[in-house]
Structure 1
C-alpha cells in the first residue's frame, strides 16, 4: 500500500512538473492549411489535439493512448461525452487525474478530439 501511494505521489509530482514545463503557450508557427491524411475520420483540429496530448497527457496515458499510469483513452468517447471530458480536465478525477493540466481552448480541443474516440 505504501509503495502504491508513493508511486501515485511521485507520478503526480512528475505530471505537475511536466505540465509546468509544457508552457501552455500557443504554437504560432503551425500551418493551419496542412492536413495529414491518416485514413481515419478526425476533427479539423486533430493535429492540434495530438500536439496538446503529446505535450500534456502522453506521460500518463501513453503516446499510443493505451494507458500507463493513467487509463487507456483509445475509446474514451464511448464512456464520456465532450462535456464530461471537459469537466474531468477542469476538475480532475479521483485516482490520480489532477485538475487543470489543460485549460481554455486547449481543453476544448482535447475534449472534442477525445469524445470522438469510440
Structure 2
C-alpha cells in the first residue's frame, strides 16, 4: 500500500515538475497533443480501424477530416455510429482524438 502511494505521489510530482518546465512554442504542445491522441487511437481504435487507420472491421480513417469536422467526429465518439458503440473514447481523450482525426485530410 505504501509503495503504491509513493509511486502515485512521485508520478504526480514528476508531472507537475515537467508541466512547470513547459512554456515555449505552441508547436511543442501541438506535437505532444498529437502524440497523445495517436497513442489513444492506437489503444482504443486500432482493433477496428487498423493500426494504420486504413480500416478493418471499421472504416478507413486516414482522410476522415475531409468528411467530418472535429465536432462531428466528437459526436460520433460520444454517441457511436453504425456498428461503432458510443463512449469508446470519452472526456478530454475524445476531444484530443477528434481534433487529431479532423486534421487527417
Same fold (TM over 0.5): yes
Describe the SS at the equivalent of 2:96.
helix
Matched, 1:99 2:83: no
- Which segments of 5 or more consecutive residues in structure 1 lack a partner in the other structure? 1-26, 34-42
* Whole-angstrom CA distance in 2 between matches of 1:87 and 1:69: 20
User: What's the offset of the Cα at 1:60?
Assistant: 0.2
- Which segments of 5 or more consecutive residues in structure 2 lack a partner in the other structure? 1-10, 22-29
TM-score (norm 1): 0.64
User: What's the offset of the Cα at 1:84?
Assistant: 0.1
Work out the number of aligned pairs and report it: 82
User: What's the offset of the Cα at 1:78?
Assistant: 0.1
Name whichever structure is richer in helix by fraction: 2
Structure possessing the higher radius of gyration over alpha carbons = 2
Q: Cα RMSD over matched residues?
A: 2.2
TM-score (norm 2): 0.71
Counterpart selection for 1:63 from 41, 46, 51: 51
